[in-house]
Each structure stands twice: as C-alpha cells, then as structure tokens.
Chain A
C-alpha cells in the first residue's frame, strides 16, 4: 500500500462472546474479559504478554505449554482461560529471582546443556518444578526421571542432558 492510499477500515476485534475471568498469575491478581473459547495458553501469551509459555501442538502431547495450575503441572493448551478463573497459575516467568538470577533447576539446565533451541524448555522446567515442589517423593532413578519427563517432547537434546539436569537440581535443592 503506498502513502496515497486510504487505509482500509478493518474490524478491530472478534465478535466472540466474552466472559469475566479473575485469577492469580505468578502471584499477581489478574482480571480480564476474554472470549470463552480462548485457550489459557493464548491468554497468558497474548493477553498478559507472558510469552515464555510456548505452544507446540495444541493437542496435549508435546508439553511445551505446561504451566502450574493450583500447584500441579497442566497443559495450558488444554485449558480454557475461563476454566482457570479462580485458579492460581504459575508460568516460567516466575521461576528465576526478581533480579534475574536463575533458579537451581535453571542453573542445572545450563550446566548440563539441557537445552538447545529452548522452545520446549519452559514446559520442561514447569513440569519438573512441580515435581521438585511436590509432597510426593520423586523417583530419581534413571527410569524414574525419564518417566517423569515423558509427556514433554524435546526434539533437540535427546533428553540425556535433561535427565542429568533433573538429578543435579534435585541434589542442589536437597542440600539447601
């Protein structure tokens, strides 16, 4: 379009019916009017600007969109924002300290070269973190860790270094 053309008038928003949602995200109260069909992943990313949560398949297999809902890991692509109303949601943006210093799990990922493209990483971290924080004891055997990681696809690393990172993080947290 060149400068002389009158810009076409385009509709600004969708006509979807909206519903009010109020939830806590990373410790902060959030309320918004959202389309009832908006996925939580889209709500976090595009309404709240928390783009650290990634979207890899939108059918629940890859785990890239994993966040913590009310203390447990869950797929944000398989949850409507309206369903999360009243819930407490945590995303990757909440994991490092305020000053940006990395959580021991993030440190372990860096030490062990447990990430390459970094796309699956936030989902991996949130899944592992929910296990590290859980009352249910973690099985830190090779098999146990791999079982815990299953449900999160990684196409770059071959997982081996992620297994090592889980072990290192669990040790680091246990010795604190």
Chain B
C-alpha cells in the first residue's frame, strides 16, 4: 500500500496553483491529505501531479463576517472545532465535528478538503448543506460562489471544475434564538455515518432546516420533513409525520453496514431526536 508516482508541486501563490492545475488534466489538489493519501496508498487514485496548497498565502484562518463563518482552504478540522468564534456563531459545527473521524485525523485534515472529497456519508458536507452554506471556487475563469445545494452532486463528486481550487467554505451563523442538533449513528466510533441528521429549529422564523448524510448518493436536505414541520409545528403528530417523510430520502441500497429498511427506520428516529433536541435548545 504505497502511493503511485506523481509530480509534486508546492506553489506559493494561488495563481501558480491554478496554473499548475490547469496545466495538467491529471492534477489533483493536496491539502491535509487525510482522504487523498489513503486513496493513493490503496492506488484508488493516480494523479499525475499533486498541487500542495499548504504554502499558499491567504488560505488559512477562520472569520465570522456578515452572517457567515468563513473557513479558508487550509483550515484543519480541529482548528474549526476549537474555534470559539465559530462555536459562538454556530454551535452545530463543533457538535458535528466531534464525529468526524478522530482527533489525529482532524488535526491534519481540512474542512474544505472534506467538502471537496464529498463522501456521501461525511458529516461536514451535510452541515454545510444544513446551514445553507456555500463554497468559493477560484479558477482560470475567475472566482465563483457555489451554494452547497449545487455543489454536492454524487458520492465523491462535486461541481468544482478540475482546474478550480475551493479557497473557502461559508457556513451560515445560527439565527438568533434558534436551536440546533446533530444526531448520528455509526457502528464504530468515528466512522462514516450509517445515517446522520443535522437540524436547526428557528421558531422565530417558523423554519426548520434538516439535512442528512449516509442515506443517499450525496448529503440531502429533508425538504418534505422541513415543510411538514414548518406548516404543522413541532407537536408529536407533526414530528411523527416529518420523521416518516424523511424515510423517502433514503436511496442507498443495502450495503455491508446496513440494509435499506434499517436505514429508513434509523433516519426517521434520528430526525425525531434531532428535531426534539434542537427545539429544546431554542430560546
């Protein structure tokens, strides 16, 4: 399990990095490497060139501005998890982060890297989706913001163009007074979710955001459930209907970790628990 040969480049500027990506259709971005290097070691990926972005100016740090938590590309999971500013702005992130693999992986792996890897069972893409977040892509054709809803296409596939670098992710801050919750089930601690749910309950706006991962080919918003709760409130009947409706989001076939039947059952339970918990945290 040793990686195949590649050309290694470590540019100092974003411009150079984009040029290096654009110049080789087989090039890939290397940030923390916690998803990419296992794939290389197993020879599931064989990029001709790796563009290491760790030395590029301006790709580090976290800031909270204009209702957004902006996470730059080289920000490690653990940095975001421990950021008090990010926690104050949206505690859902820290709560979810505790479920992303293990601390030594979070110490190296980047948040944006995880978003770009876009595993359908990964927690952070789901959180981005639940918070109506977005990413910023920069490439030879300029800079664009891509909404989470449009970014995740399929398991390990996003709308990032091969010559683009995602320079930052933008999570929304939690609306004033809103409650939040993250519920996940894994067979083993730190593993990818069998199913997980992120919930934000904003009673003031009469709005519930629900996203799930592990249940489909990409993280999904549970729109039907959201609508039921927005329309019928958070009573037990509505909750039951909403969690029943969530089952329809499960498209994952039976796999070695769970049957589809079980995933449907599990997702419904997690939705109910997440909404209850989030509702209890509203102010």
What residues of chain A have their CB less than 8 Å away from a CB belonging to chain B?
Answer: 16-17, 19, 36-37, 39, 42, 57-60, 63, 66, 69, 72-75, 77-80, 82-83, 127, 130-131, 136, 147-148, 150-151
Contact = CB atoms under 8 A, between A and B. Distances in A.
B154 interface: no
Given A75-B108, A136-B82, A82 B8 contact: yes
Query: How extensive is the interface on chain B, given as a class?
Result: 20 to 34
Nearest to B109: A78
Nearest to B78: A72
Interface string B1-28: 1111111101000000000000000000
A78 B190 contact: no
Contact of A80 (B1, B37, B82, B107): B37
A127 B40 CA distance: 24
B103 A151 contact: yes
Contact of A150 (B38, B41, B54, B102): B102
A59 B38 contact: yes
B235 interface: no
Contact of B3 (A19, A37, A74): A37
B104 A75 contact: yes
A58 B107 contact: no
B190 to A, nearest CB: 6
A126 B73 CA distance: 27
Contact of A73 (B1, B2, B107): B107
Nearest to A135: B82
Given A58-B41, A83-B33, A151 B2 contact: no
Contacts of A16: 5
B146 interface: no
A151 B98 CA distance: 12
A37 B82 contact: no
Contacts of B42: 59
A14 to B, nearest CB: 9
B83 interface: no
A73 B105 CA distance: 8
B108 A36 contact: no
Interface in B167-218: 189-190
A40 to B, nearest CB: 10
Contact of B34 (A19, A78, A127, A136): A78
Contacts of A136: 82
A18 B187 CA distance: 42
Contacts of B40: 37
